[in-house]
Every structure is written in C-alpha cells, then in structure tokens.
Amino acid sequence: MKVGFIGLGRMGLPLASHLVKNGVDLVAYDIHSAPLDKIQQLGGKVAASPQELAQQSDFVFTMLPGPKQIKDVVLAPNGILNQMQPGAYLVDLSTIDTDTVDELYQSAKAKGVHFADAPVGRLAAHADRGESLFMLGAEDQDIDTLSALLLKMGTTVQHCGVPGAGTRMKLINNLMVLCYCQINSEA
C-alpha cells in the first residue's frame, strides 16, 4: 500500500511525519523543499509533482490552505484526480467549504475513486504529538480502512456520516469555538 500526502504545512508536516514513523510507505509533495527534506530524513519519499504522486499512490491525503488550492491541485484538468486509478482513495484533511467538498466527492465518484473528508480537530501541538482528532465523512464500507490510516496520525476518528459530513461537523465545531471566543471577549 502506497500513500501519498500533498501539503506539508503546519498541520500537514506532522501528520505526514507520523505516517512515516508508523511504517507507512509514504510519498509526499509540497511546493516548498524544506518540509520535503524533513520527510526524506524520516525515510519517506518525495514526488516531483502532485500528478506523479497520484499516479503511484493507492491513497492520497490532501492538506491544503483552502478551496482554491484544493480545486487547483485536485480538480483542474491537470489535477491529481485525473491521474488516480479507479479504486484508489482520495482523502481531504483540509478545512474547506461544503460546496467544494461536495464537488470533490461527486468528481471522485464519477472517476471511480473513493472519497472521504477528514478535517483535523485539535491544535497543531496535538498534531506534533500524534494526538489529532479526525472528523471523518466516508461511505460505510471505507470507514475501517481509512480509520486504520488516520489512527497512524492521531488518536481519535469520529465518523460523522457520508462524505462531506466531516467538513460540516468541522465547520460547526469552528463556529462554536468562535462564538465562545466572542462571548469571552465581550465579557
């Protein structure tokens, strides 16, 4: 089983690092070389492009800054979805909007690619320690397979429903946290 990971920012790098440390055959891609160097030092491999990564991966995790980057990397004509084999898995860990996650799901389904969203809960410090929580939106038949991989990066997987439900739960969670911060500020 070959796992690809695209997006090695503040959250992505520790998540990908835990995959390597837990024995996963990982290939990574990022637009910056420093995090790729760290993955190689841990024993992971790097790809020259997202397309190369997708061609050689059974599972692809994306952890990107927002909807624009996700659409550019995944859904563009030269995006990774067009490089993935039917039966492969695409798992978005980003926190994005519901329209984009629904578009990812429908596009993946049309290509015969399994799709799940699993936005990350908790803080970057938790990711550093391998203690992340994942709000998983996935088809029932994919839960066990995906949970096994997610638990190599964190400690908790909460299945929230079908693909797209993880993102919806993350947005609800963020809204509650921000409301509490506003109430605290007003007080």
Q: What are the structure tokens assigned to 64, written together?
A: 């990107």
Handedness of CA 18, 116, 134, 158 (dihedral sign): negative
- Beta-bridge partners for 6: 29, 62
Q: How far is CA 70 from CA 18, 59, 61, in A?
A: 22, 16, 11
**Which tokens belong to 187?**
């007080």
- Tokens 């990812």 correspond to 104
Dihedral of the CA atoms 157, 161, 165, 167 (nearest 10)?
A: 10
At 96, the amino acid letter reads I
Beta bridge partners of 180: none
Q: Which two tokens stand for residue 62?
A: 């994306």
25 to 5, 36, 64: CA distances (angstroms): 11, 15, 21
Annotation says 21 is catalytic: no
Q: Which of 2, 45, 111, 170 is catalytic?
A: 170
Q: Catalytic residue positions?
A: 170
